[in-house]
Amino acid sequence: MATIGEITLSAEGFDAVIFDCDGTLVNSMPYHFEAWCEALALYGAGNIFKEDVFYAMGGRPTKDIVVELNDEYGLKLDPESVAFAKREAFLTKLDRIEVIDEVAAFAQSLRGKLPMAIATGGSRLVIEKTLQAVNVSDVFDEVVTADDVTVGKPAPEIFLKAAELLGVAPERCLVLEDAPAGVMAAQLAGMTVISIPAPLDFADK
């Protein structure tokens, strides 16, 4: 069980709700970090990505993070290759992922009442497999991933795309997000954001 403790979630006054996936709907961030470390180790850079930096970069597309790591450490890592290795490493951990109970319950309570979307910095393959692993694939009307936009979070494109697909004006959308880049992206899209804290079972470790 993954929980964020007591938090008030209400969609009153909104016409649609958009959810981030990793760290917001599912408790997957610790396993994404493990996958990053394994992937970078394959290319001789296993110790460069510190955990606090990883969390600060949460929500951003994998390839963008590789580019930044190259700039920061003077490396020449191939973004495509590292992203592939990271994806493959993460997919081996799907059986360890759990929904964040309060957020999943909120989504279930809105089912059939308001249109809902996922807007995530993850790739479509990984996100679809993640949603399937925790049995929530059929809850959401639309899923927008890093593969569907030109510029990822913190740019607002992914949220604007989700609103467009849902047929709702951005200012009428409520967003649930855990990462700074995602919060900024939603705000730039003109949406109201609820910041989701880290799951207690991880934050207390």
| Catalytic sites, residue numbers | 20
Which value, in Å, is the radius of gyration of the alpha carbons in the chain? 16
78 contact partners, CB below 8 Å, separation of at least 6:
66
117 exposed, middle or buried (CB, 10 Å; 0-12, 13-18, 19+)? buried
d(CA 52, CA 30): 11
Q: Say if residues 58 and 181 touch (Cβ distance below 8 Å).
A: yes
